[in-house]
Chains A and B, each alone.
Chain A
Amino acid sequence: MTPFLTAFFSGTAQGAIYALVSLGLVLVWRSAGVVNFAQMGQAMFTTYIASQLIQNNYSYWSAFLIALISGAALGALVDLGLMRPLTSRKNSQLLNSQSMRTTIPVIASLGILGVLKALAGIFWAGEERGFPSPVAPNAIKIGDTSLAITGFDLFVIGTVFLTLVLTTIFFTKTGMGLAMRASALNPEVTRLSGIKVGSVRTLGWAISGIASSLAGLLVTPRTNLSPNTLDLLLIIGFTAAVVGGLSSLAGSVLGGFILGYVISFVNVYSAPENVFIAILAFLLLALFLRPQGILGSKEVRSV
């Protein structure tokens, strides 16, 4: 197979994972206005839970489902246990400037990342382990040529598209989705409309927790699982989210795939050590050319 096709297929498969990470980030951003740096920590932790269950002879799919539910619970817990008390009225002295209101949750999310890594160290001795994939990772063949894409890759891509479609329908077609967008855009007007903004945010954290958990389950069959393996994913996912326009779900997924291609083509045509520089260059270029993101709207960024 030509290097071009190899790069294309592997970029698509990688991009699907980045898309999922990026989607999780955008979900919290759109519902709570927070950039959640703990996201990959949540993914790592719930994947360890799944891995533990599989060791204890649970089937893959029941472990998968429990990991997603744990992801939702962990997301909700982060909000209820930390974000909500931190941003409550009692702290109004601390939160009297806009910059503090946006900075404090970010710092708190970094704290959670640290805590989750420490807990993984305590419960699972921080050990690196493999994680199974539900679909055989054999390359797909057309005739005699095997493509640089596996059945598992197709499963990942399909899952990501399904997630995108479901979240988009939820955001644009349901009342709860409207409440979620409104809560992030203007919490005061939303509360004055009789909506429990706090609960809406918690739900946003929970949904994002599911997306993150899904990303962990789908990427670790390739990368293995350890407390730190998913760190790089956050950086790439974050870049994808910014490139796609933090406000747009579809943009974030598109951003994920674009980053998949950038990384994969640099890997194939240049050298793996240039990947980081390429990501940075790409981020700067994208910010320079389209500061509102590929599909982002201008107003959102300027608020």
Chain B
Amino acid sequence: MLAITNLVTQFASIKALDSISFQAKPGLITTVIGANGAGKSTLLRTISGLERPSSGSITWFDEELTHKSVEAIVRSGISQVPEGHAVISQLSVAENIELGGLFRKRIARGDLTIATKEVYELFPILFERRNEPAGSLSGGERQMLAISRALVSRPKLLLLDEPSLGLAPLIAAQIISIINELCRSTGLTVLLVEQNANTALAVADHGILLALGKVVADLPAKEMAADSSLRAAYLGY
């Protein structure tokens, strides 16, 4: 279980996360929704160690993550697909995927080969284009590549920052449904950040609504989806 307790992350005087607490249950999809600037990316970046919290704690089962380095957090099984289809465009598709598994090349070479084969089966288009630079991919393909890079590390917790952002609705739906299937078939724990509440709540088990760095609702996804007053107040539609 991922447990966030009284977490504060600030940039100069702005508290991007203002003492937030919630939990994400293992094997389920928890979605964090909120308007632009609510603090969603800051939350994921703090969990991954890219931003340092000024107080509060982050634990994954019995493991305290709060002061670990970014690399150590990844090595404990927590991978992030950052905002904006983050792939390295000058490297080839295959190299981007290889990068994700590089840190365990020596300890688990056999499994790495299997994991690589699995992501190519999940996204056959990436296999077709494996020798092309990642920069030549379409937005949707880049997102698939970013997800693949994270998956070959065999994460137990996958953090996704707005995977549907900027994608055509059909592609976005396809990506969200692949994430859903992954979670259901492998027991992967997912923390899915989305601005698009409908898409996210449709697949999630649980919803966290963030507004200006605070948790304003923490509900089962079905209830959150049904509560139109919450949406009207915080998401503006």
Using CB atoms and an 8 Å cutoff, list the residues of chain A in contact with chain B: 89, 175, 178-179, 181-182, 185-186, 188-197, 297, 299-300, 303
> B79's closest neighbor in chain A, by CB?
A192
| Supplied contacts A181-B90, A193-B100, 11 more A-B pairs, CB within 8 Å | A185-B90, A189-B88, A190-B99, A191-B70, A192-B48, A193-B149, A193-B153, A194-B75, A195-B71, A195-B103, A197-B71
> A176's closest neighbor in chain B, by CB?
B102
Q: Name the distance in Å between B96's Cβ and chain A's nearest Cβ.
A: 8
Q: Are A299 and B98 in contact (CB under 8 A)?
A: no
Q: Are B91 and A182 in contact (CB under 8 A)?
A: yes
Q: Name the distance in Å between B223's Cβ and chain A's nearest Cβ.
A: 33
Q: 3 tightest CB-CB pairs across the interface, nearest first?
A: A194-B74, A194-B103, A191-B70
Most buried by B among A181, A191, A192, A195: A192
Q: Name the distance in Å between A36's Cβ and chain B's nearest Cβ.
A: 21
Contact among A89, A190, A194, A299 with B135 in the assembled complex (CB-CB below 8 Å): A299
Q: Name the distance in Å between B84's Cβ and chain A's nearest Cβ.
A: 11
Q: Are B103 and A193 in contact (CB under 8 A)?
A: yes
Contact among A89, A191, A300, A303 with B71 in the assembled complex (CB-CB below 8 Å): A191
> A199's closest neighbor in chain B, by CB?
B71
Q: Which of B99-118 contact A (CB under 8 A)?
A: 99-100, 102-105
Contacts of B149 in A (CB 8 A): 189, 193
Q: Are B82 and A185 in contact (CB under 8 A)?
A: no
Contact among B87, B95, B153 with A194 in the assembled complex (CB-CB below 8 Å): B153
Q: What sequence of 0s and 1s flags, for each residue 52-82 of chain B, a beta carbon within 8 Å of any chain A beta carbon?
A: 1000000000000000001100110001101
> B146's closest neighbor in chain A, by CB?
A189
Q: Are B102 and A299 in contact (CB under 8 A)?
A: no
Contacts of B216 in A (CB 8 A): none
Contacts of B153 in A (CB 8 A): 193-194
Q: Name the distance in Å between A75's Cβ and chain B's nearest Cβ.
A: 22
Most buried by A among B70, B75, B95, B149: B70
Contacts of A197 in B (CB 8 A): 71
Q: Name the distance in Å between A131's Cβ and chain B's nearest Cβ.
A: 40
Contact among B48, B52, B99, B150 with A179 in the assembled complex (CB-CB below 8 Å): B99
CA distance A252 to B50 in the complex (A): 34
Contacts of A178 in B (CB 8 A): 91, 95, 98-99, 102
Given contacts A89-B52, A188-B50, A188-B82, contact A193 B89 (CB under 8 A): no
Contacts of B74 in A (CB 8 A): 191-194
Q: Does B86 interact with chain A (Cβ within 8 Å)?
A: yes
CA distance A190 to B96 in the complex (A): 10
Contacts of B91 in A (CB 8 A): 178, 181-182, 185
Given contacts A178-B95, A194-B75, A299-B135, contact A188 B86 (CB under 8 A): yes
